Each structure stands twice: as structure tokens, then as C-alpha cells.
């Protein structure tokens, strides 16, 4: 077996093993860890994954990337994470036929009802295993910036995990009622949740600054602690997302919907560019994936970038019905550009310095050309999102959440524009119950004045005929524990206080 080491996108001479990349989360100079080579999967290997459980498929894929983990360690991680205790289906991810050549890949059957569980149920096992392997003997402090779903999924993954402490920051006005309730009622003795008066980008920039602040790092060192990240900048978050693209290809072939070797397009509702980047990695490994369709809401910085080669975050920020995609700085794009520039760390440093100083950068024609050969970018506004929810509910008897609806709409636009009839999977990223108010509104159901999110969940259950996820039903009676909201300039002080370091 070949050893795969990890380099930083901003300094190609850095080489660490995967355990160190996962434990650190981000490289010291601010770059993201990427594998120095992308392992390949032959068609024979792909076929050999048929008949295997999700956990077994995952362990196989991880053995290619996390080469410093033993098989026993990987089995422990995958078998602990992908169980029916945490997920409400044996398949872990479900595939549902939507229409024509199009399938929904339902990634929200985990404990927090969003696709983030696919990675965040396993990350704590990766991280604690990595810390043990490295004999770090330090408490790992996980800082999370969330646009709503990552926070809860990380809290559920890390709650009461020995040797860890987790702190989550969310934008005060940027999350749905259900997302907020999920977070402020979080149980566990090692958890903190705090609202920030700002948007998601403020939370993410704040966390990134704390991560790289020397004074803070020194205080932490003195206190016997170290930071890590549960955001998709952490390779340990990204690698589990590659698995479900590979697994769904195998499942579709297994059930005869496609033949091995057929192309499969992938549509992803995108924010931080993590989920769609995972599909790109699956394609680079040799899985016959065709076009990668990147769907944005009206915060369409990625659509513009894919179409023009200019990344420009200097624009109005909109709070939309798909809040987990309300993002103007898509962190994982850095990994893609590193690959598309032929691993040119100097160029990446230049672009991302320009992004932090001017909010803008422009890629070369060569990179732009490569980008549009792999990706199609499209967007839609809230009105079109809601129209799409209504349409597929009526025509296809399928109820989807707002994020997934953005993907469906952009896919329809793509089909109209190109006439492409390749078989396609759409990543369905959240349960509609997480966004009941918006989904009901789309379906023309007017909630009665004075009703709370639970009346809406009940109403959505009646309208959709779908089962209410138990984890959401259970929240109703849980006490609120975290009511604090702070200015974005106070995040660092807050962290130090909570850790008793100031």
C-alpha cells in the first residue's frame, strides 16, 4: 500500500501524515491540507464494493487516503459511526428515484437531519484516534463556525467525547428556528454554543483568526490544549463525504439503474464548496462521474466565479430560505484551485492574500478553462426555490427542503440549457422538517398566527405524509441552555474565558 502524505495549499513543502492533518485541522500558515496524490479506484475495486455495508465501503475508501491508520482503527471508526443507532436507515444514505433519469441521494438520515452528519458522526473517532496515535496528550478544543447545520452536527458528534471540548458560533439572525433550537438545547458536559452578531462569514473569519493568533495559541499551549476544526477545512470532514458518491455509484449499479462505466452527473447545493469538492475527488479517483453541477442561492458568488473566473465577495449579502448556503467565502475552493493550478502554492498564496485584502481575485484562463470542463454553475432565488418545492411535491410526490430545491431548480436549468440526459444524482442535504416554515410556505400552507416550529412540523407531517424524525420531536421538551450573543470582535475573548485561560 502506498503511503499518502498531506501538503498545505499554501506551502507545498509541508508533508504530514493524515493523523496530523486531521488533528491540526488547518496548516500553521493558513493553508488547507490536501493529499499529495489522489489514490485511484479501478473498476474491479468499485465492483468489489457491491454487497458491502456502508461502513465497509467507507473503511475501504479511507484505507486509500488515511494510510497511517491501521485497518483495525479504520474499522473501529466506521463501525462506531455508521450504525442504525445514529441513522434511521440501514443504508445510512438513501437513494430515491425522483423523475426520468434523476435520483435523490438523501444524506440526512443521521441524528441532526442534515448531510453534515455523514462526516461529523465519524470525525470525533478519527480525531481521538489520531490524537492517540500522535501521543499528543492534550485536550483538543474544537472551534466551529456554523451557518446552522454544521454546528449541531458537530455538537452531536463531539458531545461528551473524552479529551475534547467543543465551541460553536452561529450568526444570530442567520439560522432557522429549528436549527437554533437544536443548538441551544444541546446536551453534554464539554459543549458551548454562542450567537454572534454578524453573518456566517463573520463567524468563519473570527474562528480562522483565533486559530492563527500566536498569543491565543501560546495560552492554549500553557493550558495543555490544542485547537482543531470540525469545519470542512478539516480533511477529516472532507474524506467521509467522498464515500457517499462512490457508494451511491455502486448502489445504482448494483440495482441495475446504471451499468459499471456509465457516467453519472452529480448536482450539489453548495455553500462552502466542501460537498461538491468531495464529488470532484471521487471523480479524480476514477469513479465515472460526469458533470459536477454547482447550485447556489442568490448569494451566487460561485456561479459568477465558474462563469467568469473572477471571485468577488464584495457584494450584498442576502439572508435566504436556504441559510446553510448563505456564504460569500467558500473555503474549499482553495483546494480545488490548488489542484487546478498544478499545485502552485505561490499562486494560491497570492490569490487568497488578495481575497483577504481586497475581497477579490481572478484566476488564469487556463484554470478557468479547466474549471468549466468539470463544473457547471447556476443559481436561483427564493421564489424559484419555493416554486420548485411545490412543483416536485405536486408532480413527483416528493417533499424536499429548501437547499435541495435550489439544486433541483439549477439542474432543470442545466438540462434546458444543454439537453444533457445523463443519469444524475442530486445531493439532498437536509430533511424538510428542519425548514418546516419555508417548506410549508412553498406548499401554500399558511401557518396559523402564534404557532411555534412544532405546530409546523406537525402540519408538514400531515401535508407530506413523511415521518417526523425522532431527534427533532425530542427537542420539544429539552431546556434551553445557551442564550448568549456577542459582538464578532469579542469572539477571541469569549474563547479564552470559556477555557479559563484569561
Ligand X SMILES: *Cc1c(COP(=O)(O)O)cnc(C)c1O
Q: Please state the closest distance from residue 102 (CB atom) to ligand X, in A.
A: 18
Considering only 10, 64, 116, 300, the residue that binds ligand X (CB under 6 A) is: 116
Size of the site for ligand X (CB under 6 A): 16
Minimum Å gap between C-beta 501 and ligand X is: 30
Question: Is-contact 211 185, C-beta < 8 A?
Answer: no
User: In angstroms, what is the minimal distance from the CB of 169 to ligand X?
Assistant: 15
Any residues with CB less than 8 A from the CB of 404 and at least 6 apart, and which? 104, 269, 426, 427, 428, 429, 430
Q: How far apart are the first and last CA of the chain?
A: 47
Binding status of residue 469 toward ligand X by CB under 6 A: no
Examine residue 323 and tell whether it contacts ligand X (CB under 6 A). Answer: no
Least distance (Å) between residue 150 CB and ligand X: 6
Judged by CB under 6 A, does residue 114 bind ligand X? Answer: yes
Out of 69, 245, 273, 411, point to the residue binding ligand X (CB under 6 A).
273
In the beta sheet, which residues pair with residue 103? 97, 425
Query: Which lies closer to ligand X via its Cβ, residue 133 or residue 237?
Result: 237
Residues in the chain: 502
The continuous run of DSSP H or E covering 290 comes out as: strand 289-296
- How far is it, in rounded angstroms, from Cα 485 to Cα 201? 16
430, 440, 495, 499: which one contacts ligand X (CB under 6 A)? 430
Does 399 bind ligand X (CB under 6 A)? Our answer is: no
Q: Are 415 and 295 in contact (CB under 8 A)?
A: no
| Cβ closest to ligand X, residue 129 vs residue 299 | 299
**Does residue 272 interact with ligand X by CB under 6 A?**
yes
| CA dist 214 → 46, 165, 257, 444 (Å) | 45, 20, 54, 53
Q: Mapping DSSP to helix (H, G, I), strand (E, B) and coil, where does residue 227 land? A: strand
Q: Scanning the structure block, which residue is given the C-alpha cell 485497518?
A: 71
Among 271, 377, 378, 432, binds ligand X (CB under 6 A): 271
Q: Which stretch binds ligand X (CB under 6 A): 9-17, 33-41, 266-274, 461-469?
A: 266-274
Shortest distance in whole angstroms from residue 162 CB to ligand X:
27
Distances (CA, A) of 78 to 111, 125, 182, 489: 16, 8, 25, 39
String marking each residue 219-238 x if it binds ligand X according to CB under 6 A = -------------x------
Please report whether residue 313 would count as binding ligand X according to CB under 6 A: no
With a CB cutoff of 8 Å and minimum separation 6, the contacts of 66 are: 4, 18, 19, 22, 74, 126, 239
Binding mask 79-98 for ligand X (x = CB under 6 A): --------------------
Q: How many CA atoms lie within 13 A of 279 on its CB side?
A: 25
Rounded distance, CA 466 to CA 430, Å? 14
From the list 1, 30, 43, 36, the residue with the least C-alpha distance to 17 is: 36
Q: Return the range that interacts with ligand X (CB under 6 A); candidates 64-72, 168-176, 272-280, 374-382.
A: 272-280
Which of residues 251 and 299 has its CB atom nearest to ligand X in the complex?
A: 299
Q: Which of 270, 303, 424, 438 lies at the binding interface for ligand X (CB under 6 A)?
A: 270
Q: Should residue 146 be labelled a site residue for ligand X when binding is judged by CB under 6 A?
A: no
Which cell is 109 given?
A: 438520515
What does the buried/exposed string (b/e) look like for 303-335 if buried means 16 or more CB atoms within 10 Å of the residue's CB?
A: bbbbbebebbbeeebeebbbbbbbbbbbbbbbb
State the minimum distance, in angstroms, from the CB of residue 273 to ligand X: 5
Q: How far is the CB of 430 from ligand X (least distance, A)?
A: 4
269 contacts ligand X (rule: CB under 6 A): yes
CB of 414 to ligand X, least distance (A): 17
Query: Least distance from C-beta 57 to ligand X, angstroms?
Result: 21
Nearer to ligand X, 20 or 472 (CB): 472
Query: How far apart are the C-alpha atoms of 227 and 207, rounded to whole Å?
Result: 11
Among 403, 415, 426, 432, binds ligand X (CB under 6 A): 403
At its nearest, how many Å lie between ligand X and the CB of residue 403? 4
Angle between the N-to-C axes of helices 54-65 and 235-254, in degrees from 0 to 180, rounded to the nearest 10: 130
Does 275 bind ligand X (CB under 6 A)? Our answer is: yes
Cα–Cα nearest to 204, from 119, 113, 324:
324
**In the complex, minimum distance from the CB of residue 270 to ligand X, in angstroms, rounded to a whole number:** 4
Residue whose CB is less far from ligand X, 41 or 321: 321
Q: Could you tell me the three cell numbers for 144?
A: 466551529
Contact residues for ligand X, defined by CB under 6 A? 114, 116, 149, 232, 269-275, 324-325, 403, 429-430
Amino acid at each position: 500500500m502506498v503511503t499518502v502524505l498531506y501538503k498545505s495549499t499554501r506551502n507545498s513543502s509541508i508533508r504530514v501524515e493524515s493523523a496530523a492533518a486531521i488533528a491540526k485541522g488547518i496548516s500553521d500558515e493558513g493553508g488547507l491540507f490536501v493529499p499529495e496524490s489522489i489514490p485511484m479506484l479501478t473498476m474491479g475495486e468499485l465492483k468489489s464494493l457491491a454487497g458491502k455495508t456502508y461502513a465497509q465501503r467507507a473503511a475501504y475508501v479511507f484505507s486509500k487516503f488515511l494510510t497511517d491508520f491501521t485497518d483495525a482503527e479504520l474499522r473501529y471508526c466506521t463501525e462506531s459511526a455508521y450504525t442504525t443507532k445514529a441513522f434511521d436507515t440501514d443504508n445510512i444514505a438513501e437513494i430515491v428515484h425522483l423523475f426520468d433519469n434523476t435520483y435523490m441521494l438523501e444524506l440526512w438520515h443521521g441524528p441532526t437531519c442534515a448531510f453534515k452528519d455523514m462526516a461529523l458522526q465519524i470525525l470525533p473517532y478519527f480525531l481521538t484516534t489520531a490524537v492517540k496515535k500522535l501521543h499528543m496528550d492534550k485536550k483538543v478544543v474544537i472551534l466551529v463556525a456554523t451557518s446552522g447545520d454544521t454546528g449541531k452536527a458537530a455538537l452531536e458528534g463531539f458531545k461528551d467525547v473524552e479529551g475534547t471540548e467543543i465551541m460553536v458560533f452561529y450568526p444570530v439572525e442567520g439560522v432557522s428556528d429549528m436549527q437554533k433550537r437544536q443548538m441551544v438545547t444541546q446536551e453534554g458536559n464539554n459543549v458551548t454554543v454562542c450567537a454572534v452578531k454578524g453573518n456566517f462569514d463573520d463567524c468563519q473569519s473570527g474562528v480562522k483568526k483565533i486559530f492563527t493568533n500566536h498569543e491565543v495559541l501560546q495560552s492554549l499551549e500553557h493550558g495543555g490544549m490544542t485547537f482543531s476544526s470540525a469545519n470542512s477545512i478539516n480533511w477529516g470532514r472532507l474524506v467521509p463525504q467522498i464515500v457517499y458518491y462512490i457508494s451511491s455509484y455502486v448502489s445504482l449499479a448494483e440495482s441495475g439503474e446504471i451499468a459499471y462505466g456509465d457516467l453519472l452527473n452529480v448536482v450539489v447545493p453548495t455553500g462552502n464548496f466542501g460537498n461538491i469538492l468531495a464529488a470532484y475527488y471521487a471523480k479524480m479517483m476514477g469513479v465515472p462521474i460526469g458533470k459536477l453541477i454547482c447550485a447556489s442561492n442568490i448569494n451566487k458568488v460561485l456561479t459568477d466565479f465558474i462563469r467568469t473566473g473572477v471571485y468577488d465577495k464584495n457584494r450584498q449579502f442576502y439572508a435566504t430560505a436556504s441559510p446553510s448556503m448563505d456564504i460569500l467565502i467558500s473555503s474549499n475552493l482553495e483546494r480545488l484551485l490548488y489542484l487546478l493550478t498544478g499545485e502552485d502554492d505561490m499562486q494560491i498564496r497570492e490569490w487568497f492574500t488578495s481575497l483577504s485584502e481586497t475581497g477579490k481575485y481572478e484566476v488564469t484562463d487556463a484554470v478557468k478553462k479547466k474549471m468549466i470542463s468539470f463544473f457547471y454553475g447556476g443559481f436561483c432565488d427564493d421564489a424559484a426555490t419555493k416554486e420548485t418545492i411545490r412543483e416536485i411535491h405536486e408532480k413527483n410526490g416528493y417533499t424536499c427542503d429548501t437547499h435541495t430545491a435550489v439544486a433541483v431548480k439549477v439542474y432543470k436549468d442545466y438540462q434546458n440549457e444543454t439537453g444533457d440526459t445523463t443519469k444524475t444524482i442530486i445531493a439532498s442535504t437536509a430533511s424538510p422538517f428542519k425548514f418546516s416554515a419555508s417548506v410549508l410556505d412553498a406548499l401554500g400552507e399558511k401557518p396559523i398566527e402564534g404557532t411555534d416550529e412544532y405546530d409546523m412540523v406537525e402540519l408538514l407531517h400531515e401535508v407530506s405524509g413523511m415521518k417526523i424524525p425522532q431527534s427533532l420531536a425530542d427537542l420539544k421538551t429539552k431546556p434551553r441552555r445557551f442564550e448568549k450573543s456577542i459582538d464578532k470582535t469579542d469572539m477571541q475573548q469569549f474563547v479564552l474565558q470559556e477555557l479559563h485561560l484569561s
